[in-house]
Structures are given as C-alpha cells and as structure tokens.
Amino acid sequence: MSLIFHPLFEKNSSTYTYLLADSHTKEAIIIDAVDETQQRDIGLIEELGLDLKYIIETHVHADHITSSCPLKQKFKNAKIVLGAENSVACADILIKDGESLQFGAYAVNTMATPGHTNGCVSFVCEDKVFTGDSLLIRSCGRCDFQGGSAEKLFDSIQKIFTLTDKVLVYPAHDYGGRTVSSIGEEKQFNEMIGGGVDKEEFVRRVNAMVLSLPKKIHVAVPANQVCGSKILSDG
C-alpha cells in the first residue's frame, strides 16, 4: 500500500490541483480542482481506476472557477467539501477545524486557517500540508477582499507553523514555478512572516501589498459559491 500523489497545474490562474489516493483501495480525494482542466483531471482519475470520494476546496476562490460540480456529476459518489465558515449551499460537507476525512487507509485532517478569506482551511495528510492561499511559498495570501484579515492570517500561519519542520508545504498557487516548500523553509525564508516577524510588522507588510483585483473575481466568486454549477453560474 502506498499514497498516490499527483500535483497538477493550471497555467492561466497559476493554480495547483492535488490528487491523492490509496493505491490499494483506490479511494481518492482531489483538492482545488479548476474548471479549465476538468477533462485532464477526469482522464487521470479514470486512467488510474480511482474511486473519487471527496472533492475538496481550500476556500471560495476569486481567480478561477472550480470544477467541483462537474466532477460530482461525473463521479456520483463524490462529496463536495468546504470549510464550515463558507456560506455555500452546494457543499455536501462543511468541515470544521480538527475534523478529518478518510480515504482508504489515509486521513486528511482539517485546520481552519482564516485570513485570506474567512472560510479558508488547510488540509494535512501524512507529511504534506495543503495550505490553499493562506501560506504560499515565500509569501502569503492577500487579505483585501472576501472578509480578509491580516491579523487572522498571522494567527493562522502561526498555527500552520506548529507542524514539524519537515512537513511539505503545497499551496494553491505559485507564480514563479515553484512546486513545494517545507514548514522549516517557510519559517526561515518566507518574505512576509519568516524569521520571527511579529504580528504588527506582518499586518503592515500585508496591508502594504498593492495588487490589482483578480481578473475573474466578479465571475469566479459567484460561480464558486455554487461550486461551479453551470446551470447557476451561467444564469
């Protein structure tokens, strides 16, 4: 028995999707799937003969449309999972901090990490943490829309930093082609919070970020609040 693990990339929004499965039972989860790459993801799941059990979102995204609903339509037994603080009617499971989901012999554990949005969650599986937009490689998520809070994000990243240094960090995005980091590296080298930066300085740095709104925000957020359902998002 081993863990099947496929990091997958969507170039337009620089989004990472993660497919994990138990090689013995074939039960699988997918994290942060993107509408544009749904056929690639469906093809890989079918090719590997996987039984998709959970379609997991780290948060309601603003830069791309999720493929949660199309994936659920294809894989009828799969359940859509979002953090408990997300006000979405399309989720089958609104998961709380500390709760876990089982797929085969593996578990993915939930860690509430609000700040980028109030509903952000990270997921820990074995020696991996999937941090969404909360902790990025050498950076962090923005906090200027969707109920964001730099103060909350500082606390959330400190919570992520309680994981051991060797735990691998897999974010929802990277804009420089980096695919993985570690808790130890981010504690030391993260440009926003590494090296023991205090809360006041972190908040100052985050609030000083000058970023344009994601190009798709006005389409993506409403669509993702209904999990990418074509019927609702096209209406």
Domain that includes residue 188, residue range: 3-209
Is the full-model pTM beyond 0.85? Answer: yes
The DSSP annotation for the chain comes to --EEEEEEEETTTTEEEEEEEETTT-EEEEES-BGGGHHHHHHHHHHTT-EEEEEE-SS--SSS-B-HHHHHHHSTT-EEEEETT---SS-SEEEPTT-EEEETTEEEEEEE--SSSTT-EEEEETTEEEEETTEETTEE---SSTT--HHHHHHHHHHHTTS-TTSEEEESB-SSS---EEHHHHHHH-TTTTTT--HHHHHHHHHT---PPPTTHHHHHHHHTTTT-HHHHT-
- Confirm whether 77 is domain-assigned: yes
Question: Pairing state of beta strands 100-103 and 3-10?
Answer: unpaired
In a domain, 235, yes or no: no
Structural domain count, the chain = 1
Residue 99 inside a domain? The answer is yes
* Reported confidence tier of residue 230, pLDDT bands at 50, 70, 90: low
Predicted confidence at residue 217, as pLDDT, reads 87
Count of Cβ atoms closer than 10 Å to residue 89 Cβ: 8
Examine residue 92 and state whether it is found in any structural domain, yes or no: yes
Tell me, yes or no, whether 230 lies in a domain: no
Q: Which residue has the higher pLDDT, 145 or 205?
A: 205
Residue 231: pLDDT above 70? no
Note the pLDDT of residue 232: 39
Residue 192 has pLDDT above 50, yes or no: yes
Average pLDDT of the chain is 94
* CA–CA dist 87, 104 (Å, integer): 29
Calpha distance 158→174 (Å, rounded) = 20
Q: Would you say residue 222 lies in a domain?
A: no
The enclosing domain of 114 has a CATH number of 3.60.15.10
Q: What is the pLDDT of residues 146-160, one digit of tens each?
A: 889 999 999 999 999
State pLDDT tens for residues 14-58: 999 999 999 999 999 999 999 999 999 999 999 999 999 999 999
pLDDT bin (cut points 50, 70, 90) of residue 235 is very low
Compute CA distances 137 → 34, 42, 191, whole Å: 20, 28, 9
Q: Is residue 225 part of a domain?
A: no
The reply to whether 221 falls in a domain is no
